[in-house]
Structure 1
Amino acid sequence: MIEIDVFLDAGGLDCPLPLLKAKQALNRMTSGEVLEVLATDTGSVRDFDVFAKQSGNTLLLSEDNAGIYRYLFKKK
């Protein structure tokens, strides 16, 4: 089981706000910490995948549970 250090509920926010809020949260975190993000924006799937590749943060999980998207990022 992965320990969550920071939780971000971005439900109801439209693109690009879930990504911006996640970036802000990650900027406040220290290396190795894990951020959990919940979002309802379908565009977040693509946004978070691209963000992980470009930022160097590790996308540990990306899942869709009936329109609720859950992501886990490990801060680089």
Structure 2
Amino acid sequence: MTMFDVELDARRLVCPLPILRTKKSLSAMSSGQVLRILATDKETPKDFEVFCRQTGNELLSSEEKDGEYTFYIRRR
């Protein structure tokens, strides 16, 4: 399990809300801190990959279990 500083529960939210809430959470964090995101939208793996590539934040890991996705993103 990856260590994290802040957790965001984006379950039951659909695009674009998981990304918007992630952006808001990351903006309140310091550089190097890790955000853990829980989501259920099937589009989130692709969305977070693109989001991190475009923003320079690091997608540390992405996993799916029983329809629930967990992402760890390190703030740039």
> Normalised by the shorter chain, which TM-score bucket?
over 0.9
CA distance in 1, matches of 2:42, 2:2: 24
CA distance in structure 2 between the aligned counterparts of 1:44 and 1:20, rounded to whole angstroms: 12
How many residues align? The count is 76
Q: Quick check: 1:9 aligned with 2:14?
A: no
- Identify unmatched segments of 5+ residues in structure 1: none
Counterpart secondary structure, 1:63: strand
Give the secondary structure class of the aligned counterpart of 1:42: coil
Q: If the length of structure 1 is used for normalisation, what is the TM-score?
A: 0.96
1:35, CA displacement in angstroms? 0.1
Q: Secondary structure at the residue paired with 1:22?
A: helix
Runs of 4+ with deviation above 4 angstroms:
none
Q: Which residue of 1 aligns with 2:50?
A: 50
- How many percent of aligned residue pairs carry the same amino acid? 47
- 3-state SS in 2 of match to 1:21: helix
Deviation at 1:2, TM superposition (A): 3.1
Measure, in 1, the Cα distance between the counterparts of 2:29 and 2:52. 15
CA RMSD of superposed structures (Å) = 0.9
Q: TM-score, normalised by structure 2?
A: 0.96
Unaligned runs of 5+ in 2: none
